[in-house]
């Protein structure tokens, strides 16, 4: 094989050799990037100490606990109609392509899977340890689920109909495969309710005395929001009715915003503290939710 490759390189023209070397260099760079990226993640997992929810610092943390549903509407996976904390699913249809130029116009050339439906849950759920409760926002997390299955069936079904969801698992029977009716492929992943979870992400507490309050920043944000609604500004602060906010009226805008933010701070400080974990602001830090223990995740990376 090596000798054959050597002969091909020798017989190739200069342009072909250059293209080959450029492609090879790009493959090497991509491989090196992947190696360092995964090694970096492994080191972060190993080096980040596990925190308890009650005493966790604000910022990038590692937590372990039991996954539970929040009060309200349950999270239900569309394919299996099972309650869960998180799900992703896809429905694919087998598309057959025929070689029209073949001497037999009905000769099958190849087939591939075409996605017809898919979805990922972004519902919030809870992480609970012996010290407290934390709200988990799974959006854009790297997730290792409790359940992962791919099966096949003979027809698409209505995701809005729970009865069809109850029946979808039966579409992968051996008989449908035996008779070649597996024209649809279904894939579902779930995190089960009550699963033991490992979570690595951005920890933030809202409300209570621990919340860090940036009054100047929130006043600035509130005024910016008002500026996007000029009709609101005029209706509330244009006291002389000239259709503009003059310097005196602008001073009132600033003082009103300052007072509203101050009132908001007072209310938030007396509210119960709510802990959250979500995707880190720094893209170099991973956001991981896994049913596997820390050692197993680090070894994979």
Alpha-carbon distances, residue 127 vs 27, 78, 139, 150, 265 (angstroms): 40, 23, 15, 28, 27
* pLDDT at 13 exceeding the cut of 90: no
Q: Residue written as tokens 């991973």?
A: 286
pLDDT digits (tens, 9 = 90+) for 183-239: 899 999 999 999 999 999 999 988 766 666 778 888 999 999 999 998 888 899 988
pLDDT digits (tens, 9 = 90+) for 235-274: 999 888 888 889 999 999 999 999 999 888 877 777 778 9
Q: What whole-number percentage of the chain has pLDDT above 70?
A: 73
Mean pLDDT (the chain, rounded)? 81
Q: Are residues 264 and 217 in the same domain?
A: yes
* pLDDT at 31 exceeding the cut of 80: no
Q: Does residue 11 sit within a domain?
A: yes
* pLDDT for 61: 95
* pLDDT for 14: 65
Q: Does residue 29 sit within a domain?
A: yes
Q: What's the number of CA atoms in the CB half-sphere (13 Å) around residue 272?
A: 6
* pLDDT for 204: 92
Q: Does residue 276 sit within a domain?
A: no
DSSP state of 74: P
Q: Are residues 97 and 136 in the same domain?
A: yes
Query: How far is CA 119 from its chain centroid?
Result: 11
Q: Are residues 89 and 18 in the same domain?
A: no
Lowest mean pLDDT among 4-13, 25-34, 203-212, 290-299: 4-13
157 neighbors 85 (Cβ within 8 angstroms) = no
* pLDDT for 171: 47
* pLDDT at 140 exceeding the cut of 90: yes
**Better pLDDT: 197 or 104:** 197
Q: Does residue 277 sit within a domain?
A: no
Domain assignment of residue 249, given as a range: 212-270
Q: Does residue 253 sit within a domain?
A: yes
Q: Are residues 293 and 148 in the same domain?
A: yes
Residue at a domain's end among 30, 46, 62: 46
**Better pLDDT: 78 or 210:** 78
| Angstrom distance (rounded) from CA 113 to CA 187 | 12
Q: Residue written as tokens 């802990």?
A: 275
- Degrees (nearest 5) of the Cα angle 70, 71, 74? 75
* pLDDT for 133: 96
Q: Does residue 282 sit within a domain?
A: no
Helix (H) or strand (E) holding 163: helix 162-167
Enumerate residues 6+ apart whose C-beta is below 8 A from 205: 58, 211, 273, 274, 275, 276
69 neighbors 75 (Cβ within 8 angstroms) = yes
Q: Are residues 10 and 101 in the same domain?
A: no
Alpha-carbon distances, residue 19 vs 1, 23, 29 (angstroms): 20, 6, 15
Q: Are residues 248 and 191 in the same domain?
A: no
Q: Does residue 278 sit within a domain?
A: no
* pLDDT for 175: 37
Q: Are residues 7 and 31 in the same domain?
A: yes
* pLDDT for 157: 64
Q: Are residues 20 and 163 in the same domain?
A: no
Q: Are residues 294 and 176 in the same domain?
A: yes
* pLDDT at 120 exceeding the cut of 70: yes
* pLDDT for 176: 40
Q: Are residues 112 and 161 in the same domain?
A: yes
For the chain, the domain total comes to: 3
Q: Are residues 104 and 121 in the same domain?
A: yes
pLDDT digits (tens, 9 = 90+) for 153-190: 877 765 555 454 455 555 444 334 434 567 899 999 99
Q: Does residue 207 sit within a domain?
A: no
Q: Are residues 91 and 229 in the same domain?
A: no
Enumerate residues 6+ apart whose C-beta is below 8 A from 65: 53, 127, 128, 129, 134, 196, 197, 199
């Amino acid at each position: 094989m090596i000798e054959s490759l050597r002969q091909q390189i020798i017989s190739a023209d200069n342009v072909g050799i250059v293209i080959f070397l450029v492609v090879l260099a790009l493959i090497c760079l991509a491989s090196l990037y992947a190696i360092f990226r995964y090694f970096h993640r492994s080191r972060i997992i190993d080096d980040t100490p596990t925190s308890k929810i009650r005493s966790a610092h604000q910022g990038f943390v590692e937590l372990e606990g039991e996954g539970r549903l929040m009060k309200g509407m349950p999270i239900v996976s569309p394919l299996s109609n099972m309650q869960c904390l998180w799900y992703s699913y896809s429905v694919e249809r087998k598309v057959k392509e025929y070689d029209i130029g073949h001497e037999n116009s009905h000769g099958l050339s190849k087939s591939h899977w075409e996605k017809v439906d898919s979805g990922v849950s972004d519902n919030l759920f809870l992480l609970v340890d012996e010290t407290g409760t934390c709200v988990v926002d799974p959006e854009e997390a790297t997730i290792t689920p409790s359940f992962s299955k791919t099966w096949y069936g003979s027809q698409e079904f209505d995701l809005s109909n729970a009865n069809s969801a109850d029946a979808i698992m039966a579409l992968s029977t051996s008989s449908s495969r035996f008779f070649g009716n597996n024209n649809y492929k279904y894939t579902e992943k779930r995190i089960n309710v009550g699963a033991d979870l490992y979570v690595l992400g951005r920890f933030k507490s809202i409300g209570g005395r621990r919340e860090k309050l940036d009054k100047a920043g929130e006043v600035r944000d509130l005024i910016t929001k008002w500026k996007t609604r000029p009709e609101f500004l005029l209706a509330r602060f244009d006291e002389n009715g000239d259709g503009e906010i003059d310097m005196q009226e602008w001073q009132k805008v600033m003082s009103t915003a300052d007072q509203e933010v101050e009132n908001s701070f007072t209310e938030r400080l007396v509210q119960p503290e709510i802990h959250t974990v979500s995707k880190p602001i720094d893209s170099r830090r991973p956001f991981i939710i896994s049913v596997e223990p820390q050692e197993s995740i680090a070894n994979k990376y």
